[in-house]
A and B are shown apart, each in its own frame.
Chain A
Amino acid sequence: MHLPNIEDSLAAWPPLARLVRNVSRRDFLKFTTIAGSGLTLGVAVPAVAKNGLTVLGVEGTPGDYSTPFVRIDPDNTVTVICKHVEAGQGVWTGLPAVVAEELDASWSQMRAESSPAQVPTYGNFAFGPKGNVQGTGGSTSMANSWDQLRHAGAYARAMLVQAAANRWKVPASEITVSEGVVSHSSGKKATFGELAAAAGKLPIPKDVKLKDPSQFKLIGSEKRLPRLDSRSKSTGTQTFAIDVMLPDMMTAMVLRPPRFGAKVQSIDSAAAKAVPGVVDVVQIPRGVAVVARDTWSAKKGREALKVTWDESGAEKRGTDALFKEYRQMSGGASAVKVDDKGDAAGALKTAAKVLDFEFEFPYLAHAPMEPLTAVAKLSPGKCEIWAGCQFQTIDQANAAQAAGLRPDQVTINTLAAGGTFGRRANVESDYIVEAVTIAKATGGNYPVRLIWTREDDITGGRYRPATYHHVQAGLSQDGKLVAVKQDVVNQSIMAGTPFAGMMKDGVDPTSVEGGTTEQYEVPHAHVTWTQAKVGVPILWWRSVGHTHTAFVKEVVVDELAAAAGKDPVAYRLSLLEKHPRSAAVLKLAAEKAGWDKPFPTGKAANGSFRGRGIAVHESFGSVVAHVAEITVTDGTVKVDRVVTAVDCGIAVTPDVVRAQMQSGIGYGLSAALYGKISLTDGRVDQSNFHQYRVLRINEMPRVIEIYIVPSTNAPSGVGEPGTPPIAPAVANAVRAATGIHLRKLPFDLAAAKAMKT
């Protein structure tokens, strides 16, 4: 599936349009001169971008640009400047690995650091061919960096070789590079660090040759490339936004409305100001901020703050009422067409058997372990931000607007993010703008560190949209799938935002992506989407629309297989003739799990129930299949073993791919088993981890086996694709074990508890 073009959509958005205009070619050239005695490569290679774009299937001719991604210092370290945020997904390891490969560097000399916010230099080509938006999302970091960083590494290697050739007065063709050492057959040797300064003064070569993948030594190697951030993250020395300490810095917390859409009516700040340590109480557009000398004082001050809210414009519906409305709206007058082929209505009438499904998915909070935090420092004509920024240039533009500055007056320091899962990528840059508006409201007198508490995070909105699906599927006499009618209802992440331009024919792709008729061959299909309008703020949540479409697709197909009396794997394969990658991944997972061997399904001697289920799904350019083996005891599901197969193109760092599969499984299981944000009369019912339960170590599958499909295709996503198929694999296993048909998330196994004898 093509990624929609974000930058065209955003072109009309005033803050960003201004930003793009303000960046000139001269700005990029500055980067080529900051190296000091070392070498920073500004690589002007339109072909890189062109290749990169072809990989993603987006049409367009990129402009001229420079990409300073590699720095080699005299101490012989090679630093890869990463345009993507490290939020756990491994870009500080994967991106350096690409450079190290083409450079023939030693892994021990590689370093990673965040780039400044700068477009198009550090733009994400998966978001559009011009690179006008810098951001991390859609599992695109490796895919859109691949060609770019291979070239950056290859240019650096060529220039180091030339520098050595000049120094030794030998032909460059006689020089070899291995493990970070440049050598000549005469016995002369030099490190990168020794050659860097000379290399940096050479003209950039016109062209370089990339390695043939068969020559790769590091990329794809099962000889593990250790993560570059493991040591700092195992010693407490990694700096996250919450750890930033600036002289005179104050800490702020914000009291936000109890219902979404409510506004401040009046403030009584006397008691808050009386709390020792509190220095300011200020109103900002998103609420009322208490500013204090330390976190504890800010928290106590906020508890003492009295605000009367005008709730006349607030959302007052609860989630029970919303789902009732969604059911009524489904496929109704405001439904728009997503897919239409053949005659689904007619085929359903003549089908030998029709199965009817309704599914409900709740709102979900991302709940990254580091609650949202940002530090903002204002000084005349300047604003500096420290945060785990996921949308660097959007954050820059929003901060500029909030501060009353131009975007180029805003410096973004992208720090390691303590998880994000999509939460830190929002077009309003909510938490960053809060920090800036507090700094502004307090006169820029001191740097402001804004901290969200866990309660702020869980109740603060921007959830995975609550979603309703209604599916009717028709089978022929011999069990073939002949027709699917599917109606989806949820809020639109893109409508009404600067991303609205990415909607096509009135459909928000993030609401319906990964649909049943998109990924399986169905002769007669009719799919609609109805946009629900609700005042609860929503956002992309790890794997976005696939979080619900994959569940629907894989549970429906599994039950169709059962209705047809066919094996779930064989049945899926019969629908995947035009999707060979999905078929291959499905087969690999089934083979490795021993699918063809009998599994002790059903009630065991100890009163537990055991079952095995499978699911496969394509998302973000990759395909993942999981086989889940589970035990249900007293109404509790325990996932014992997961066997995973993944095709993500070339697996640059296979161990990071495995880590992301493990992570995606755990994140998806949290949602399958526990995750739910509900509202009563517009107020969020959950506040912290005791009510918004997430997976713990005792609930994690003890055994996860991961098999990576060998591939010569360019790399595709791994951060998200592991998540969508785990919940349906487990649901299918629960049905195999107990006969219970799960139609709502999180799973309600009350019926299984009742089955206990």
Chain B
Amino acid sequence: MAIKLTVNNQPQELDVDPEMPLLWALRDHLKLTGTKFGCGMALCGACTVHIDGQPTRSCVTPVSAAAGKTVTTIEGLSGPAGKAIQDAWVGIDVPQCGYCQSGQIMSASALLAANGRPTDADIDAAMSGNICRCATYVRIRAAIHKAAESLPAKS
């Protein structure tokens, strides 16, 4: 039976193995390749998407667990936090090889959406699940702060 879910505001029906990780359903079946495979064990964060707004490792999330839910991938990232994060990423040239950055941006935008003025400790907590082998970490931290400053502070 097809699994129904919403991806980037589009209703989708997926007739796949319910155990298939959401990552592979997105990439292989919906051709949304911005979400990356890095480890398959929720250890590196390259596959991070938002499910109902929450950052989630799609490589260990069965597609059936996303049934009826709203999935946002890097291709569908929008809203003030998402845009601020992407602009900051480009503005200070965070990416190097760039492969992990979709996941970094999905984690960072979820952090910023929930916490308009994250401290360094908040950033460590939210971002330490995302590995970057190019070690762009100094710029990731700076970009998150920059993005936060570009948004009006929440009262």
Asked if A and B are interacting partners, one says yes
The residues of A with any CB-CB pair to B shorter than 8 Å are 86-90, 224, 226-227, 229-240, 242-243, 245, 251, 276-277, 294-297, 300, 367-371, 416-421, 451, 453-455, 655, 659, 662-663, 665-667, 669-670, 688-690, 694-698, 700-702, 704
Besides A251-B28, A454-B40, A689-B44, 4 new A-B residue pairs in contact (Cβ under 8 A), listed by A number: A90-B96, A294-B16, A369-B100, A665-B135
Of B27, B40, B74, B86, the residue contacting A453 (CB under 8 A) is: B40
Q: Interface residue count for B (Cβ, 8 Å)?
A: 56
Check A666 against B137 for contact (C-beta < 8 Å): yes
Check B37 against A242 for contact (C-beta < 8 Å): yes
**What are 5 inter-chain pairs, A to B, with CB distance below 8 A?**
A234-B98, A242-B37, A243-B33, A294-B20, A370-B97
B153 contacts the other chain (Cβ, under 8 Å)? no
Point out the residues of chain A lying under 8 angstroms from B75, CB to CB: 235-236
Check A230 against B100 for contact (C-beta < 8 Å): no
Of A236, A277, A666, the residue contacting B135 (CB under 8 A) is: A666
Check B131 against A696 for contact (C-beta < 8 Å): yes
Check A234 against B86 for contact (C-beta < 8 Å): yes
User: How far is B105's CA from A360's CA once the two chains are assembled, in angstroms?
Assistant: 38
Point out the residues of chain A lying under 8 angstroms from B20, CB to CB: 294, 296
Point out the residues of chain B lying under 8 angstroms from A233, CB to CB: 95, 98, 101
Closest A residue to B74 by beta carbon equals A236
Of A226, A371, A702, the residue contacting B93 (CB under 8 A) is: A226
Check B134 against A294 for contact (C-beta < 8 Å): no
Q: Which of B89, B90, B134 has the most CB of A within 10 A?
A: B134
A46 to chain B, nearest CB (A): 35
Check B133 against A368 for contact (C-beta < 8 Å): yes
Q: Which of B24, B46, B73, B74 has the most CB of A within 10 A?
A: B24
What is the 8 Å Cβ interface bit string for chain B, positions 64-75, against chain A (1 contact, 0 not)? 000000000111
What is the 8 Å Cβ interface bit string for chain B, positions 1-41, against chain A (1 contact, 0 not)? 00000000000000011001100100111010111111111
Point out the residues of chain B lying under 8 angstroms from A296, CB to CB: 16-17, 20-21, 24, 28
Of B21, B90, B132, B139, the residue contacting A369 (CB under 8 A) is: B132
User: How far is B16's CA from A294's CA once the two chains are assembled, in angstroms?
Assistant: 10
Closest A residue to B140 by beta carbon equals A697
B25 to chain A, nearest CB (A): 8
Closest A residue to B130 by beta carbon equals A697
Point out the residues of chain A lying under 8 angstroms from B131, CB to CB: 369, 689, 694, 696
B61 contacts the other chain (Cβ, under 8 Å)? no
Check A88 against B128 for contact (C-beta < 8 Å): no
The B56-91 residues at the A interface (CB cut-off 8 A) are 73-75, 86, 89-90
User: How far is B97's CA from A659's CA once the two chains are assembled, in angstroms?
Assistant: 11
User: How far is B138's CA from A659's CA once the two chains are assembled, in angstroms?
Assistant: 9
Closest B residue to A366 by beta carbon equals B133
A554 to chain B, nearest CB (A): 21
User: How far is B127's CA from A696's CA once the two chains are assembled, in angstroms?
Assistant: 8
Check B43 against A690 for contact (C-beta < 8 Å): yes
Of B29, B44, B74, B95, the residue contacting A230 (CB under 8 A) is: B95
Check A700 against B43 for contact (C-beta < 8 Å): no
User: How far is B66's CA from A352's CA once the two chains are assembled, in angstroms?
Assistant: 72
B120 contacts the other chain (Cβ, under 8 Å)? yes
Given contacts A276-B17, A370-B36, A454-B40, contact A700 B138 (CB under 8 A): yes
A605 to chain B, nearest CB (A): 22
User: How far is B75's CA from A419's CA once the two chains are assembled, in angstroms?
Assistant: 22
Point out the residues of chain B lying under 8 angstroms from A704, CB to CB: 138
User: How far is B39's CA from A230's CA once the two chains are assembled, in angstroms?
Assistant: 24
User: How far is B136's CA from A659's CA once the two chains are assembled, in angstroms?
Assistant: 8
Point out the residues of chain B lying under 8 angstroms from A663, CB to CB: 96, 134-136
B149 contacts the other chain (Cβ, under 8 Å)? no
B113 contacts the other chain (Cβ, under 8 Å)? no
User: How far is B42's CA from A688's CA once the two chains are assembled, in angstroms?
Assistant: 10
Point out the residues of chain A lying under 8 angstroms from B97, CB to CB: 86-88, 368-370, 416-420
The residues of B with any CB-CB pair to A shorter than 8 Å are 16-17, 20-21, 24, 27-29, 31, 33-41, 43-44, 46, 73-75, 86, 89-90, 93-102, 105, 120, 123-124, 127-141
User: How far is B132's CA from A237's CA once the two chains are assembled, in angstroms?
Assistant: 18
Point out the residues of chain B lying under 8 angstroms from A227, CB to CB: 93, 95
User: How far is B95's CA from A416's CA once the two chains are assembled, in angstroms?
Assistant: 12
Check A230 against B94 for contact (C-beta < 8 Å): yes
Point out the residues of chain A lying under 8 angstroms from B102, CB to CB: 236
Check B135 against A416 for contact (C-beta < 8 Å): no
Check B29 against A294 for contact (C-beta < 8 Å): yes
Check A698 against B128 for contact (C-beta < 8 Å): yes
Check B96 against A88 for contact (C-beta < 8 Å): yes
User: How far is B29's CA from A725's CA once the two chains are assembled, in angstroms?
Assistant: 46
Check A370 against B99 for contact (C-beta < 8 Å): yes
User: How far is B59's CA from A688's CA once the two chains are assembled, in angstroms?
Assistant: 14
User: How far is B132's CA from A296's CA once the two chains are assembled, in angstroms?
Assistant: 24
Check B133 against A421 for contact (C-beta < 8 Å): yes
Check A235 against B86 for contact (C-beta < 8 Å): yes
B124 to chain A, nearest CB (A): 4
Check A659 against B133 for contact (C-beta < 8 Å): no
Point out the residues of chain A lying under 8 angstroms from B16, CB to CB: 294, 296
Q: Which of A243, A659, A690 has the most CB of B within 10 A?
A: A659
Of A230, A277, A297, A662, the residue contacting B89 (CB under 8 A) is: A230
Name the 4 nearest CB pairs between A and B, nearest first.
Answer: A666-B135, A236-B34, A233-B98, A418-B99
Point out the residues of chain B lying under 8 angstroms from A239, CB to CB: 33
Point out the residues of chain B lying under 8 angstroms from A276, CB to CB: 17
Closest B residue to A234 by beta carbon equals B89
Q: Which of A86, A89, A234, A420 has the most CB of B within 10 A?
A: A234
Point out the residues of chain B lying under 8 angstroms from A238, CB to CB: 98
Point out the residues of chain A lying under 8 angstroms from B86, CB to CB: 234-235
Check A688 against B43 for contact (C-beta < 8 Å): yes
User: How far is B38's CA from A251's CA once the two chains are assembled, in angstroms?
Assistant: 16
Point out the residues of chain A lying under 8 angstroms from B74, CB to CB: 235-236
Point out the residues of chain B lying under 8 angstroms from A236, CB to CB: 33-35, 73-75, 102
A544 to chain B, nearest CB (A): 17
User: How far is B51's CA from A358's CA once the two chains are assembled, in angstroms?
Assistant: 52
User: How far is B95's CA from A229's CA once the two chains are assembled, in angstroms?
Assistant: 8
User: How far is B96's CA from A227's CA once the two chains are assembled, in angstroms?
Assistant: 9
User: How far is B47's CA from A453's CA once the two chains are assembled, in angstroms?
Assistant: 14
Check A419 against B99 for contact (C-beta < 8 Å): yes
User: How far is B28's CA from A652's CA once the two chains are assembled, in angstroms?
Assistant: 40
A719 to chain B, nearest CB (A): 10
User: How far is B26's CA from A603's CA once the two chains are assembled, in angstroms?
Assistant: 52
Point out the residues of chain A lying under 8 angstroms from B36, CB to CB: 240, 242, 369-370, 418
Check B38 against A369 for contact (C-beta < 8 Å): yes
User: How far is B131's CA from A454's CA once the two chains are assembled, in angstroms?
Assistant: 13
Point out the residues of chain B lying under 8 angstroms from A454, CB to CB: 38-41, 43-44
Point out the residues of chain A lying under 8 angstroms from B73, CB to CB: 236
Point out the residues of chain A lying under 8 angstroms from B39, CB to CB: 454, 688-689
Given contacts A226-B90, A369-B132, contact A232 B139 (CB under 8 A): no
Of B96, B98, B120, the residue contacting A232 (CB under 8 A) is: B98
